[in-house]
Amino acid sequence: MAVSRTPDRSRGGSVVAAGIKTLVFDVLGTVVDENGSITAEIATAFADVGMDPAGALGLCEAWSRQLTVLIDRVVAGEEPWRSNDDLRRAALHDSMQALEVDGLSAATLEDLALAGHRPRPWPDSPAALRHLAGSFRVVALSNADFAQLVDMFAGGNLVWHCVLSAELVKSYKPDPVVYRLVLDLLDLDPRNTLMVAAHRWDLLAAAGQGLRTAYVSRLGEGVAAQGDEFDIYADGLADLAERLAGSGS
């Protein structure tokens, strides 16, 4: 699993963020610890039936890769849209077959398939979002289904001014239509809108629609490439809040 890049603290901050009115957040991996939470659930399921919990990380990584493959097929128009829950269920089945993992009951597998409803927030997320909401409009824009978002936000005490799911346009990020959704539906000027994410692909796609960008370093969520040019680099959401201090309208 990749280890995130150490942010360059000499870049970004209130000067760069001047004029920003709305913060649009990726959720999975950025606000909640998707991989860590799902790995923990798999480890518990393995332990309950006497399987080695150490194998949980490998299954989680394979599951994540296969989910990305299925999402990419939808975005490319190669497959019809299916809910995130349905794609997760199919990706889990495919990954378990590929790794020859056996021994879990049908009920346990269905419970794991719904793990997308239960990821834990990163420790700094709830307080940082509340703080940022005092100066900016804070909006969630996620590939997760609305049903998943309701459950994870309620369980994680995460509060937003607006929550949008790619489900509304029957596609997934990085399809440009998802970023246009938030801009058009909320009548936002992309020059005054900051996309916040822990994934470079998400930020690059958002930048392609004119949004400004903030890369948030999260353990295990990939790295920013050497040539990437984002407006802000932050070591978590608490650090992002500090960098944006004084720039809200």
**pTM here?**
0.92
With bands split at pLDDT 50, 70 and 90, how would you rate the model's confidence at 16?
A: low
CB atoms within 10 A of CB 47: 12
With bands split at pLDDT 50, 70 and 90, how would you rate the model's confidence at 226?
A: confident
pLDDT, tens digit (0-9, with 9 covering 90-100), for 70-106? 999 999 999 999 999 999 999 999 999 999 999 999 9
The overall average pLDDT reported for the chain is: 92
**Fold classification of 34-117 (topology level):** DNA polymerase; domain 1 (1.10.150)
Q: Is the dihedral of CA 2, 141, 116, 89 positive or negative?
A: negative
pLDDT for the residue 18: 79
Annotated domain spans of the chain: 22-31+122-244, 34-117
Chosen CATH of 22-31+122-244 out of 3.40.50.1000, 2.40.37.10, 2.102.10.10, 1.10.1040.50: 3.40.50.1000
pLDDT for the residue 99: 95
Bridge-based pairing state of the strands 32-33 and 212-216: unpaired
Tell me how far apart the alpha carbons of residues 98 and 101 are, in angstroms, rounded to a whole number. Answer: 8
pLDDT at 17 exceeding the cut of 90: no
